[in-house]
């Protein structure tokens, strides 16, 4: 708003008119007039805002009614998960979900909520990128012990909705990868114990694309198994491996980075995607950037100079200050045949075993037999140590520096960072009505038992209240929760793990 104060014109000595200065009273009247006009404009804006809020509430009410109607005619709103049982089913993807959906429903047994399908005729259209021969591979493993007692052996964190979006982490990964491929070229590798849960939560996943492992063997065996099977199904396949339990923001940037990585992988390189570090983290490995590569369609691709193990705080700060390092998020894009060649060179025992299993993969009876014979003897090793690090030393690994947001949701401290909250208040994952606080700052509270959780004058606490286990620690020691899990196991508390 601009205010112009003018007065009458008086003649000057040379005959030209000059403005006459207004008196103080006249100036005040003009100012008050402008203020009144501004107040009227503000009132109109507030009325418009109130109308929009009412319209938004009406839309949310319609969505909730649709959810309740669908839930009452199907499985019900709260899906119970007794220990050792399969996870609940989720809607096909992509699907419109409600803007607010429950995370945990109080019950006598552990449960979490994955909403039923919402059929309002509002399905999202998924635009696809044309990446010839691209297959998305999702390793879904690990027990998520740092998120205990929320995450358990029978339903690890990738089955949970930790983002309050109404979709579990593995469902969010599926949604994110669909624009890159189709369900016919999207593969999940998981343990036998979780195969049923994966099928329930990803109903569009083809049975032939679900690879089940008899026991956990780390990422090299999981991704290598997918590569061995794909090399026989599609010799020209380029696979991209993306963990089932990571969070990513900035989907357009993610899709662009994967496309660059796929084009770079077409040059027979093992390609990783490096995350721009936002702080000197000590819980991640790092990638040192090398020279730029001249690859058409991949202007950001660089050679990997070196992989670095998790550093201490001072070293991590130096990495961040240099600008030449990226976080290693464990994302790899490579031709299936190239990965098998690298495994044969750097980890021949693993490669030989995977080849034997893949040779009989399509024959279920033979597969079971060979699995029993071969799988127990395979080395348990991460893909970084098995092939990425030695291949980088030989100049055979590239990196695409990324600009999207990423978090591995590795503990309750990192989970707290992604949850909304008022300034100075604790984050709540679940029913806000079950948490009462006074003079509490930071921290995260998960009221999963249905009981009231009340906190007074404590800061940065982690409180996870479930029907059969209560965890209390600090955010600073959130990484150490796995040690409590180990002690519970040693103490005979396997029923809560």
Please report the DSSP string for 362-387 in residue order: TSHHHHHHHHHHHGGGS----HIIII
Least confident residue range of 14-18, 136-140, 304-308: 14-18
Q: Which of 26-30, 110-114, 174-178, 364-368 has the lowest mean pLDDT?
A: 110-114
Using a pLDDT cut of 70, give the percent of the chain over it.
77
DSSP code, position 179: G
Q: What mean pLDDT is predicted for residues 438-467?
A: 93
**Exposure of 58 in the CB half-sphere (CA atoms within 13 A):** 6
Give 406-436 pLDDT, tens digit per residue: 998 889 998 988 888 777 678 999 888 999 9
pLDDT confidence tier of residue 127, bands split at 50, 70 and 90: low
Rounded to an integer, what distance in angstroms lies between the CA atom of residue 261 and that of residue 283?
A: 25
pLDDT at site 472? 96
> In terms of pLDDT, which residue wins out, 91 or 471?
471
* Better pLDDT: 35 or 380: 380
- Whether 44 has a pLDDT exceeding 90, the answer reads no
With b for 16 or more beta-carbon neighbours within 10 A and e for fewer, the 108-122 pattern comes to eebbbbbbbbbeeee
Instruction: State the average pLDDT for the chain.
Output: 81
Helix%, strand%, coil% for the chain, nearest 5: 40, 20, 40
Cα 436 from chain centroid (whole Å): 29
Residue 471 predicted with pLDDT over 80: yes
Least confident of 47-51, 128-132, 163-167: 47-51
Q: Residue 292 pairs with which residues in a beta bridge?
A: 302
pLDDT of residue 486: 93
Q: Does the pLDDT of residue 80 top 50, yes or no?
A: no
| Mean pLDDT value of segment 130-139 | 90
Task: State pLDDT tens for residues 307-358.
Answer: 999 999 999 999 999 999 999 999 999 999 999 999 999 999 999 999 999 9
Q: Would the pLDDT of 105 be above 60?
A: no
Q: Which is more confidently placed, 420 or 54?
A: 420
pTM for this predicted structure: 0.75
From the list 238, 288, 235, the residue with the least C-alpha distance to 261 is 238
């Amino acid at each position: 708003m601009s205010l112009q104060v003018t007065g009458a014109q008086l003649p000057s000595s040379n005959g030209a008119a000059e403005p006459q200065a207004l008196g103080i009273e006249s100036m005040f009247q003009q100012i008050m007039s402008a203020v009144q006009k501004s107040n009227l404009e503000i009132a109109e804006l507030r009325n418009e805002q109130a109308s929009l809020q009412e319209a938004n509430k009406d839309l949310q009410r319609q969505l909730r009614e649709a959810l309740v109607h669908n839930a009452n005619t199907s499985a019900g709103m709260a899906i119970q998960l007794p220990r050792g049982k399969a996870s609940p089913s989720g809607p096909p993807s992509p699907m419109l979900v409600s803007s607010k959906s429950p995370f945990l429903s109080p019950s006598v047994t552990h449960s979490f909520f994955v909403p039923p399908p919402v059929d309002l005729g509002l399905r999202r259209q998924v635009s696809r990128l044309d990446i010839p021969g691209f297959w998305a591979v999702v390793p879904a493993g690990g027990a998520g012990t740092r998120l205990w007692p929320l995450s358990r052996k029978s339903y690890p964190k990738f089955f949970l909705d930790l983002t309050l979006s109404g979709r579990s982490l593995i469902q969010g990964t599926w949604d994110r990868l669909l624009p890159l491929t189709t369900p016919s070229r999207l593969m999940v590798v998981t343990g036998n114990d979780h195969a049923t849960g994966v099928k329930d939560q990803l109903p569009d996943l083809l049975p032939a694309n679900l690879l089940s492992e008899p026991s956990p063997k780390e990422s090299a065996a999981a991704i290598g198994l997918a590569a061995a099977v794909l090399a026989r199904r599609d010799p020209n396949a380029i696979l991209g491996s993306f963990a089932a339990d990571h969070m990513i923001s900035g989907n357009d940037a993610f899709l662009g980075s994967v496309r660059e990585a796929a084009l770079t992988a077409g040059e027979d390189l093992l390609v990783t995607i490096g995350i721009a570090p936002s702080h000197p983290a000590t819980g991640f490995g790092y990638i040192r950037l090398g020279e730029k590569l001249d690859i058409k369609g991949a202007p950001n691709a660089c050679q990997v100079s070196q992989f670095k193990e998790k550093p201490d705080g001072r070293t991590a700060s130096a990495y961040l200050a240099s600008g030449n390092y990226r976080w290693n998020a464990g994302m790899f894009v490579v031709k299936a045949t190239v990965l098998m060649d690298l495994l044969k060179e750097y980890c021949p025992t693993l490669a030989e075993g995977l080849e034997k299993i893949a040779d009989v993969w399509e024959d279920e009876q033979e597969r079971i037999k060979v699995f029993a014979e071969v799988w127990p003897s395979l080395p348990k090793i991460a893909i970084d140590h098995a092939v990425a690090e030695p291949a980088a030393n030989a100049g055979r690994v590239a990196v695409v520096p990324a600009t999207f947001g990423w978090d591995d949701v590795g503990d309750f401290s990192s989970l707290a960072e992604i949850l909304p909250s008022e300034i100075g208040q604790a984050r709540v994952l679940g029913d806000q009505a079950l948490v009462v606080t006074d003079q509490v700052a930071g921290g995260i509270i998960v009221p999963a038992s249905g009981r009231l959780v009340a906190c007074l004058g404590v800061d940065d606490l982690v409180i996870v209240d479930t029907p059969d286990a209560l965890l209390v620690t600090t955010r600073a020691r959130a990484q150490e929760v796995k040690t409590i899990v180990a002690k519970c196991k040693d103490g005979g508390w396997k029923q809560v793990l």
